[in-house]
A and B are shown apart, each in its own frame.
Chain A
Amino acid sequence: MALNNLDTLYRQVIMDHYKNPRNKGTLEKESVTVDMNNPTCGDRIQLQLDVQDGIVKDAKFQGEGCSISMASASMMTQAIKGMEVEAALKMSEAFSEMMLGHDVDSEEMGDIEALQGVSKFPARIKCATLAWKAMEKGVHNE
């Protein structure tokens, strides 16, 4: 595998989210806070969700991790803002499917589809799913 094959993993849009993360920080409002880590590698994320009337009003995250885990968190928070909880959970399901290499509706996924390449790097799938698992936990706790 030549280095340019890595481009299937490190797509431009992923690197953009990694270097310029959206929704990084903490919510001022009282909100659901979820801490989650990937014990095998040390990546960690704190996700805060402001859920009102079944809708994710706001989402912010902080954490430390690789490009894939941080970009995924950035994209996820961007995607679920304004979404109904049920729709966010459905999207998380679709994301898991995508990580298994299954085809998903690319229009619904938007930018997130850039992470599809991760499915070809099994060692990195857990990096990509961390933020999504945190979101699932958060809305279930809510």
Chain B
Amino acid sequence: MNERSERIIQHSAWRSHRTSEARAGGLSTRTIQGQKNLQDIRQASKDGIGGSPLRPDGTLKVKGEFAYSSDMWHEDMLWGMALRSPHPRANILSVDISDALKVPGVYAVLTHDDIPGTKYYGLEIQDQPALAIDKVRYHGEAIALVAADHPETARRAVKKIKVEYEVLTPIVTEEQCLNPEVYGYVHEPHEYKSHGSGNIVHSQKLVSGGGVTDEIRALADVIIKSDYEVGMQDQAFLGPESGLAVPAEDGGIDLYIATQWLHVDRQQMAPVLALPEEKVRLTLAGVGGAFGGREDLSMQIHACLLAQHTGKPVKIVYARDESFFGHVHRHPAKMTYEHGATRDGRLVFADARIVLDGGAYASASPAVVGNAASLGHGPYVIPNVRMEAIALYSNNPSCGAMRGFGAVQAAFAYESQMDKLAAALDMDPVELRQLNAMAEGDYMPTGQQIDSPAPVAELLQRVKDMPLPPPLDLDNLDIRQIPGALSNTSHGEGIVRGIGYSVGIKNVGFSEGFDDYSTARVRIEVIGGEPVAMVHTAMAEVGQGGVTVHAQIVRTELGVEQVTIHPANTEVGSAGSTSASRQTYMTGGAVKLAAEAVKQAVIDKGRRRYGWTQSDLTLIGGKVVSESQGALISVVDLLGDEAIDLTREHHHRPTVPFDKETGQGFGHVQYTFCANRAVVDVDVELGLVKVVELTAAQDVGRALNPLSVVGQIQGGCTQALGLAVMEEIIVKDGKVRNASFTDYLIPTILDTPPIPVDVLERPDPHAPYGLRGVGEAPTVSATPSIVAAIRAATGLALNRIPVRPEHLTDTL
């Protein structure tokens, strides 16, 4: 154990165990004593890819010993806290910290004046101040920081900071945003750090075929045009934003943090802290869910600033209300869609405008716009398409990444359109979709050819063919199974069943020319008479099970049983973000490359030593095996004391940016598709909904871990259910009205139905093992199926989600 690790954290006598275990891989790791997931996780299992071995972190998690970022502890640590703006738009006339500094137990109070380096950061556009500078642009923006000996001391001190505001009328509606000369600029024109202008962060147009003109419109027998709206959804991960920043003797900082991308956090942090990147060392602490909400920085810079300033370790843990202010949300959207079709149901054109509210800062808005424009037509072949997607700057909360971004909003609109078209044409809604479904070989409106399986029609057929749940048994009613449940609102009265279908498309990986490569380091050596492999990546395990899959890949490639997962940190190259359904593809792919290189090196070592000439050598069961001649030598005997330790990068095939005006370009790495059938019971008198069953069929290319794949699909469907019927951050005049789990409701187990999942495996020849990213497609596709089912039960148009009881009872 190095000197630093001894200095850090004696969590308690009960939590200090076997620190030597961390050295099992013989590695120099920075560890926190007693916090075992920050040490290597070692697991013995025979399961390679295609199996469902148990999670290597599962035992720690069920014992309560897995150290999440909010569990970090240091005997000398301080608590950090932020003062946040109560106003969505105001000029800051003065900040007086003198009274706060006088509170006993307060060690530091900081404002932007105390920032040693660059004051702005951002994922794509560096437009966000680490602490507000002279103005605030959204409700909840951080203005000042306090470090104190106890959270209550910090709270008292925060309340003693006096800020004088000149409160301004917030710019919040589309009309206000698009008329900056009248209503003002969220960022003054000279402040723009990107191509955006006039309260528009980013825009993307797309035209394919003949575009949409009067001549094209005339080709359609039926035209459906509607406006749609999607509310602001929150990731609502359970583990609050949190971490521990520890100042180091070399003037640098060690940060134990829950994030989705260690390296891009560091890249944004280092200039603000005025430190070279190598002195900002990040280690992934346990992550309590992410779903996009940890792509942007939250408390990272704040904790480090306080640690730099006080010379003490500083822990910040957001309370739930602060969490709602501390991360970006799903973009609310207003969309206008027009579809034309022939009498026999063939789509002729689609014309759409998608307006996304990006809020105060850019975050991932450009990528969200790109997805909305390029995927907004849905998984359909449409000969003539015109699209425009824009993201606005406003004084609403910042919006950015959330599972399925850009595609989720559009899917609600285009799938609603499909149902309306089917009704107008008197067609079965599934048949209409199948008739127009894209397939391998077809072209996206971007001009990109779909060059791997796209079984859209089959997925729809599969959910349609699954058996339906039994009808409600009114004679043996269990009220827990009907709308309202234990609230005892119905004993069967008013309940109508509805069924709805949907299908969606999502891209996998980062797009538009971005090279989001992943790095993996794989090592093999003999420990205790056994060959043991170690995987070291910077991949953020946020719950998805990437660590399980990495071990499976290594077992498959190296033929060993024992695989150790090294803690994720910045000592190895970037793994890219745990988002965009990309980690198994990208970092899994890197692990595969590194493991293949290690395998080759082991074999080459044998060739050099023993002069093997066979071309059919591989590693199986701890031995070097010739497929024709059998085992040649054990890996233990071959390696002896030597370790083989190789690092590889995995780059996906290159993409290009979309043309700004036409949207043309090979912009996406891979596409993924999911279809759903929803069965709902609606109390049509009270407007209450119970989803009875939510069926999913998804093509995953190859299921590396079937148990995890199904878990991802079920979890994704449930977040989609939330968006369909309950989840919305309510913002009025720029102010968040429901920043709590009391009023921002996510589905409970009584809201969530059985979710039968049909997993298809149609390999993608361009992807490692043929796999297809899994996590987001169900979140894209499931919401519209539920709304379609509610429409079927009620006959209402329902052009806005989430669907509230008011929408169903005409009492808005």
A and B: interacting chains = no
